[in-house]
A and B are shown apart, each in its own frame.
Chain A
Amino acid sequence: MKRIIYIIIFVCASAPLFAQATKELQVEGIKVIFKRTDKAVATVNLCIRGGVTNITEAQQGLEPLALTIALNGGTATINKDALAAELEKLGTEFGADARNDFSYMTMTCLRENWDRSWALFADAVLHPAMDENEFKLERERMVSNAKQLEADPDQYLRILATQQLFEGTDYAKRPGGTPATIEKLTLQEAKDFYKYLLGKQRIYLVIVGNLDEKDITGKVKSTLAALPAGQAPRAPQTAAIKQGVKISNRDLATNYIVGLGNAPKYYSPDGPLFQFAMSMLYDRYFVELRTKRSLSYAPSAGYNNSYIETPAAQLYITTIDPKQSLEVMTAIINDVKENGFKPKEVENKKKSYLTRYYMTNQSSGAQANVMSTCEASGNWRIFDEINSRIGQVKTEDVNRVFNNYLTDVQWTYLGKEDKVTAEDFKQPVAKLPASNVKQPKD
Chain B
Amino acid sequence: MKHSPLLLLLLLAVAASAQQSKNRPANIFLSRLPNGLELLVLEDHSVPLVTIEMAVRNGSYTEDNEFNGLSHLYEHMFFKANKDIPSQEKYLERIQELGISFNGTTSQERVNYFFTLGSKDLDHGLRFMNSAIRYPLFLQEEMKKENPVVDGEFQRAESNPAWALFDKVNRKTWGAHYSRKNPIGDHDIILTATPEKMRVIKDKYYFPDNSILLVAGDVKHEEVFRKAQEVYGDWKPAGFDPFKRWPIPEFEPLKGKDSLRFVVESPNARVPMLLQVWHGPDTRKDIKATLVADVFSYILSQKNSKFQKNLVDSGYALNVGIGYQTAKYVGPIQVFFVPNPGKFKESFQALARQIDQFDSDDYFTDEQLETSKIKLANGEKFGMEATTDYIHTLSFWWASASLDYYFDYISELNKVTRQDVQDYVRKYIKNQPSVAGLLLNADMQKEWNVTSLEALYR
Task: Give me the interface of A with B, judged by CB distance under 8 Å.
Answer: 10, 13-14, 17-18, 37-41, 81, 84-85, 88-89, 91, 108, 110, 133, 136-137, 140-141, 144, 147-148, 150-153, 250-254, 256, 283, 286-287, 290-294, 296-298, 318-320, 345, 348-356, 358-359, 362-364, 366
Nearest neighbor of B268 in chain A, beta-carbon distance: A151
B139 interfacial contact with A, CB 8 Å: no
**Least Cβ distance of A117 to chain B in Å?**
12
* Contact A364 B385, beta carbon cutoff 8 Å: yes
Interchain CB contact under 8 A, A348 and B46: no
Shortest C-beta distance, A436 to chain B (Å), equals 27
Contact B153 A297 (CB under 8 A): yes
The residue of chain A having its C-beta at the shortest distance from the C-beta of B339 within the complex is: A144
| Cβ B46 vs Cβ A294 within 8 A | no
Residue B118 CB within 8 A of the other chain: yes
Residues of chain A contacted by B150 (CB below 8 angstroms): 297
- Known A39-B46, A81-B303, A291-B145; judge A254-B152 contact (CB<8 A): yes
Q: Which residues of A contact B188 (CB under 8 A)?
A: none
Task: Name the B residues within 8 Å of A81 (CB-CB).
Answer: 303-304
B12 contacts the other chain (Cβ, under 8 Å)? no
Query: Given A88-B371, A140-B340, A253-B159 in contact, is the A147-B96 Cβ separation under 8 Å?
Result: no
Q: Complex Cα distance A39/B382, Å?
A: 10
Contact B48 A296 (CB under 8 A): no
| A81-B303, A81-B304, A88-B303 known; A362 vs B149 contact (CB < 8 Å) | no
**B338 surroundings in chain A (CB, below 8 A):** 144
Bound CA span A355–B319, Å:
37
Known: A144-B338, A364-B385. A294 touches B148 (CB 8 A): yes
B260-294 interface with A by 8 A CB criterion: 267-271
Kindly supply a per-residue 1/0 record for chain B positions 353-379, scoring 1 wherever the CB is within 8 Å of any chain A CB and 0 otherwise: 000000000000001000100110111
A355 touches B155 (CB 8 A): no
Contacts A133-B313, A153-B160; is A354 near B271 (CB within 8 Å)? no
Tell yes or no: B158 within 8 A of A by CB: yes
| Contacting residues, chain B, for A148 (C-beta < 8 A) | 270-271
Q: Which of B280-319 contact A (CB under 8 A)?
A: 302-304, 312-313, 315, 318-319
Q: Which of A14, A151, A351, A353 contacts B270 (CB 8 A)?
A: A151
**Is B99 an interface residue when CB atoms closer than 8 A count as contact?**
yes
Alpha-carbon distance A250/B319, docked complex (angstroms) = 27
CB contact under 8 A between A84 and B303, given known A91-B375, A359-B101: yes
In-complex Cβ contact of A362 among B97, B318, B385 (8 A): B385
Known: A144-B319, A362-B388. A355 touches B302 (CB 8 A): no
Closest to A41 in B: B385
Residue contact B118 to A351, C-beta cutoff 8 Å? yes
CB of B382 within 8 A of CB of A41, answer yes
CA distance A40 to B371 in the complex (A): 20
- The answer to whether B271 touches A292, judged by C-beta atoms less than 8 angstroms apart, is no
The contact of A137 among B160, B312, B371, by CB within 8 Å, is B312
**B162-190, CB under 8 A of A: which get 1 and which 0?**
10000000000000000000000000000
Out of B46, B92, B152, B377, name the residue touching A291 (CB < 8 Å): B92
Selected from B101, B271, B382, the residue in CB contact (under 8 A) with A356 is: B101
Q: A148-B270, A348-B99, A355-B49 are contacts. A41–B116 as well, Cβ < 8 Å?
A: no
Q: How far is the CA of A39 from the CA of B46 in the complex (A)?
A: 9
Question: In the complex, which of the residues B162, B267, B319, B388 contacts A359, with contact meaning CB atoms closer than 8 Å?
Answer: B388
> Please, could you name 7 A-B residue pairs with CB atoms under 8 Å apart, sorted by A?
A89-B371, A91-B377, A91-B382, A136-B315, A153-B268, A352-B100, A359-B49
With a cutoff of 8 Å between Cβ atoms, the chain A residues found around residue B117 in the complex are 351, 355
Given A137-B313, A150-B270, A250-B268: A352 in contact with B101 (beta carbons within 8 A)? yes
Are B385 and A254 in touch, CB under 8 angstroms?
no
CA of A152 to CA of B342 in the docked complex: distance in angstroms? 23
Extra contacts, 5 of them, besides A40-B385, A85-B371, A254-B152 (Cβ < 8 A), are A13-B48, A88-B371, A88-B374, A88-B375, A358-B47
Interface of B is mostly: helix
Question: Contact: B378 with A10, CB < 8 Å?
Answer: no
B385, A38: Cβ atoms closer than 8 Å: no
Give the interface centre of A37, A298, A359 by most chain B CB atoms within 10 Å.
A359
Q: What residues of A have a CB within 8 angstroms of the CB of B371 in the complex? A: 85, 88-89
Q: Does B146 contact A (CB under 8 A)?
A: yes
Q: How close is A211's CB to chain B, nearest CB, in angstroms? A: 15
Best-surrounded residue of A10, A133, A252, A291 (most CB of chain B within 10 A): A291
Residues of A within 8 A of B156 (CB): 253-254, 297-298, 318
- Write out the residue numbers on chain A whose beta carbons fall within 8 Å of the beta carbon of B386: 362-363, 366
Q: Do B88 and A291 have beta carbons less than 8 Å apart?
A: yes
Asked whether A152 and B318 contact (CB < 8 A) given A13-B48, A318-B155, the answer is no
Nearest chain B CB to A214 CB, angstrom units: 24
A294 touches B146 (CB 8 A): yes
In the bound complex, residues from chain B placing their C-beta under 8 Å from that of A297 are 149-150, 152-153, 155-156
* Least Cβ–Cβ distance between B378 and chain A, in angstroms: 3
Q: B47, B147, B315, B377: which contacts A14 (Cβ < 8 A)?
A: B47
Instruction: Determine whether B437 belongs to the interface, using a CB cutoff of 8 Å to chain A.
Output: no
Q: Do B155 and A253 touch across chains, with their CB atoms under 8 A apart?
A: yes
CB distance from B223 to the nearest CB of A (A): 18
B201 an interface residue at 8 Å Cβ cutoff? Answer: no
**Which of chain B's residues have a CB closer than 8 A to the CB of A358?**
47-49
Using Cβ atoms and an 8 Å threshold, which residues of chain A touch B154? 253
Q: What are the residues of chain B within 8 A of A353 when measuring CB–CB? A: 99
Which residue of chain B is the closest to A293 with respect to CB atoms? B145
Instruction: Confirm or deny: B412 has a beta carbon within 8 angstroms of a beta carbon on chain A.
Output: no
A25 to chain B, nearest CB (A): 24
Tell me which residues across on chain A come within 8 A of B99, comparing CB atoms: 348, 350-355
The answer to whether A348 touches B101 (Cβ under 8 A) is no
Alpha-carbon separation in the docked complex, A152 to B116 (Å): 31
Which A residues are in CB contact (< 8 Å) with B312? 137
User: In the complex the two chains form, what is the Cα distance from A221 to B189 in whole Å?
Assistant: 65
- In contact, B101 and A296 (Cβ under 8 angstroms): no
B123 within 8 A of A: no
Instruction: State whether A140 and B304 are in contact (beta carbons under 8 Å apart), knowing that A291-B89, A348-B96 are contacts in the complex.
Output: no
In the complex, whether B161 has a CB less than 8 A from a CB of chain A is yes
B350 within 8 A of A: no
- Contact of A320 with B152 at beta-carbon distance under 8 Å, contacts A40-B384, A348-B99 already known: yes
In angstroms, Cα B375 to Cα A398, docked, is 47
- Bound form: Cα–Cα A153–B160 in Å: 7
B residues in contact with A319, CB < 8 Å: 152
Which A residues are in CB contact (< 8 Å) with B318? 137, 140-141, 144
- Report the Cα distance A150→B160, complex, angstroms: 10
CB pair B374–A355 under 8 Å, yes or no, is no
- How many angstroms from the CA of A294 to the CA of B151 in the assembled complex? 10
- Of A283, A294, A349, which is within 8 A of B145 by CB? A294
Shortest CB-to-CB span from A135 to chain B, Å, is 13
Contact residues in B for A253 (Cβ distance below 8 Å): 154-156, 158-159
In the complex, which of the residues A18, A133, A140, A355 has the most CB atoms of chain B within 10 Å of its own CB atom?
Answer: A355
* B98 interface contact, C-beta 8 A: yes
Q: Which chain B residues numbered 13 to 54 have a C-beta less than 8 Å away from chain A?
A: 46-49
A141 to B88, CA, bound (A): 46
Cβ-based interface call for B381 (8 A):
yes
Kindly list chain A residues whose C-beta atoms are within 8 Å of the C-beta of B89.
287, 291-292
Q: List A contacts of B257 (CB < 8 A).
A: none
Partner of A85, one of B46, B101, B269, B367: B367
Question: How far is the CB of A130 from the nearest CB of chain B, in Å?
Answer: 16
B351 to chain A, nearest CB (A): 16
Q: What 5 A-B pairs have minimum CB-CB distances, sorted nearest first?
A: A351-B99, A91-B378, A297-B152, A253-B158, A254-B155
Across the interface, do B152 and A296 meet the contact criterion of CB distance under 8 Å?
yes
B120 within 8 A of A: yes
Mask of B243-267 contacts with A, CB within 8 angstroms, 1/0: 0000000000000000000000001
Q: Which B residues lie within 8 Å of A364 (CB)?
A: 385
Within 8 A of A (CB), among B96-155: 96-101, 116-118, 120, 145-150, 152-155
Alpha-carbon separation in the docked complex, A294 to B190 (Å):
14
Query: In the bound complex, what is the Cα–Cα distance between A150 and B319 (angstroms)?
Result: 18
